[in-house]
Amino acid sequence: MKKIILLLFLFIFGCDKIPTGVVDVQQTDFQTVAVKSPESVIYTKSDSSFVTSIKFNSTADINQVWVDLYNSDNSQLNSSPIYLYDDGNLASNGDSTKGDMVFSAKVPMSSNYSNGSYTLKYTVLDKDNTERSVAAHNFNYKAVLIDTPPVISNLVAPDTLTITSDAANPTNFILTLNVSDKDGQNDIKEVYFKLFKPDGSQTSTPKNLMYDDGDFSHHGDKTAGDGVYSYGGQLPAGTPKGNWKFVFYAADKSDSLSNVITHYIYIK
Interatomic CA distance for residues 141 and 116, integer angstroms: 5
Whether 22 is in a domain gets the answer yes
Using alpha carbons, select from 40, 254, 45, 36 the residue that is nearest to residue 142: 40
Claim to verify: residue 179 and residue 245 sit in the same structural domain = yes
Q: In the structure, what pLDDT confidence band is assigned to residue 101 with cuts at 50, 70 and 90?
A: very high
Q: What is the pLDDT of residue 205?
A: 92
Residue 6: pLDDT band with limits 50, 70, 90: very low
pTM for this prediction:
0.51
Domain endpoint, select from 112, 142, 172: 142
> Are both 80 and 123 inside the same structural domain?
yes
Residue 5 lies in a domain: no
What pLDDT, on the 0 to 100 scale, is given for residue 144? 67
**Residues 6+ away with beta carbon under 8 Å from 15:** 25
Domain boundary (142, 165, 196) is at 142
Query: Same domain for 104 and 81?
Result: yes
Please state which of the ranges 24-28, 106-110, 172-176, 239-243 shows the lowest mean pLDDT.
24-28
Please determine, for residue 155, whether its predicted confidence score (pLDDT) is greater than 80.
yes
Q: Which residues contact 106 (CB under 8 A, 6 or more apart)?
A: 49, 50, 51, 92, 93, 94
In the predicted model, is pLDDT for residue 90 greater than 90? yes
Structural domain harbouring 98: 18-142
- Rounded CA separation 150/256 (Å): 8
Boundary of a domain, candidates 80, 112, 142: 142
Examine the domain organization and report whether 228 and 249 are in the same domain.
Answer: yes
Q: What is the mean pLDDT of residues 44-61?
A: 89
Do 127 and 164 lie in one domain? The reply is: no
Q: Are residues 132 and 156 in the same domain?
A: no
The structural domain count of the chain equals 2
Report the CATH number that the domain containing residue 27 is assigned in CATH.
Answer: 2.60.40.2550
Over residues 173-222, the pLDDT tens digits come to: 999 999 998 877 877 999 999 999 999 999 999 999 999 999 999 999 99
Per-residue pLDDT at 45 exceeds 60: yes
